[in-house]
Amino acid sequence: MKIHLIRSPEYSTEDLTKVYELLNSFKGPMKFEMNDHVFDKKDFYFLNYDLYPHHNFKFDSDKKKKTFIKELGYPLSFEELFSLCDSFRKRFRIRKNDFVVLITNRFNSLNWFSHCNADKNAFIHAAEWEKFYIKAHHKHPVAYQVIENVLQNLMEVESLEGYNEYVHYHVRGCINDFCKDKREVILKLRTADICGSCFKRIEEKKIPFDITDQVFQILEGLRTQFLFNKKVNRVSIPYSIYIDEDNKLLIPQLGNMELKLEPILSTLYILFLLNPEGIKAIDLSKHNSKLKYIYKFLNPNVIPEQVRTSINELTDYENGSFSQKKAKINRKIKSLLGDTRAQDFLISGRPGQPFRINLQLENMDINF
């Protein structure tokens, strides 16, 4: 089952990439794909910001109609948002059983976080989280909404029909809490839970175990990263690091948080992970062959001459390249984890002595 992540024009490629990379770090039968397709505003008049002020949204009932109000950020109707998903489906021949999820900063006429229709088209409202969430990227609540809508569709839960036992208007910390107030969604992120009645529904609909298992993995991972970003005090646990099949450096105790480094920096970092006893800067050239192998493995399209040049420059003790790259790696780690949590992951040591990473060998899963 594929879940295609797309964006409306005002939502940035960079933000879409962050949501995609977060979801894609959890492996299972749900496969996430990102498409940076740009919708032409000439084809979709409602994507233009200068809409006329008395635009009436198209709804089946008067109760759900809402007049266009400029001050609300040019909201769009559900039909207009889903028309983008339908257009994408037709253009790229997306299968009926696959999901298309539109992430947008545009408000919708009911001011909902998200919704998924029977055709497996969904939209996620990505704006304003800084008002109710934390001073961190909105990728966590948006990723949560993606999983929530996929699961609700598989459960055949329709929130537009009003109250039912699987849409909880009184917050209980379940993925199907309606959360009319955005502040209430924080409880869902904290609990990463599915209540008993909803779990029975999952069993009734015979949703495959491997899908529900991946759902729980993602929810727990998002919960862990959410608590980490809120700096919630927790019991200290030993951290570990591993490389997945996509050659990403991931920290499982932090919800598969990725340590993103450019290939030459990843190469150096992996070498130190493979040598927990440490390496002196002056001895780095003794590891040229291993460094070249790692660099080529991580960067398969690089030409042999570039491999030799990059690694020889890195291991040249006189030019100071190692110190510069070590400092750059450590800055990135501190930026990602904060000064305290970063300590176990830094390349540390004194000049003339072996430099090492303080993670215990049993907490590393690095195969090269």
Domains, in order of start, for the chain: 2-229 (3.40.390.10), 241-365 (no CATH)
Which of 3-7, 132-136, 296-300 is predicted with the least confidence, judged by mean pLDDT? 132-136
pLDDT of amino acid 362: 58
pLDDT of amino acid 125: 93
Structural tokens at position 137:
């990227």
pLDDT of amino acid 64: 47
Q: What are the start-end ranges of the H helices in the chain?
A: 13-24, 78-92, 129-132, 139-155, 185-191, 196-204, 209-229, 263-274, 288-298, 304-315, 321-337, 339-342
pLDDT of amino acid 246: 82
Residue 325: pLDDT band (50, 70, 90) is very high
Which of 32-46, 67-81, 313-327 is predicted with the least confidence, judged by mean pLDDT? 67-81
In angstroms, the CA 215 to CA 224 distance is 14
pLDDT of amino acid 53: 44
Residue 245: pLDDT band (50, 70, 90) is confident
Q: Which long-range contacts (CB under 8 A, 24 or more apart) does 153-158 make?
A: 153/99, 153/116, 153/118, 153/120, 153/122, 154/202, 154/205, 154/207, 154/211, 155/198, 155/201, 155/202, 155/205, 155/207, 156/205, 157/201, 158/118
pLDDT, average across residues 268-294: 94
pLDDT, average across residues 122-128: 92
Q: What is the pLDDT of residues 107-122, one digit of tens each?
A: 887 888 899 999 999 9
Residue 96: pLDDT band (50, 70, 90) is very high
Q: Which of 60, 8, 9, 1 is nearest to 32 (CA)?
A: 1
pLDDT of amino acid 71: 54
pLDDT of amino acid 74: 61
pLDDT of amino acid 364: 62
Q: Which residue has the higher pLDDT, 47 or 355?
A: 355
Average pLDDT, the chain: 84
Residue 233 pLDDT > 60, yes or no? no
Task: Tell whether pTM > 0.85.
Answer: no
Q: What is the pLDDT of residues 127-185, one digit of tens each?
A: 877 766 556 678 988 999 999 999 999 999 875 555 567 888 777 778 988 877 666 77
pLDDT of amino acid 339: 82
Amino acid at 243: I
pLDDT of amino acid 166: 82
In angstroms, the CA 117 to CA 132 distance is 26
Q: What is the pLDDT of residues 65-89, one digit of tens each?
A: 444 455 555 678 888 899 999 999 9
Residue 250 pLDDT > 70, yes or no? yes
Residue 361 pLDDT > 80, yes or no? no
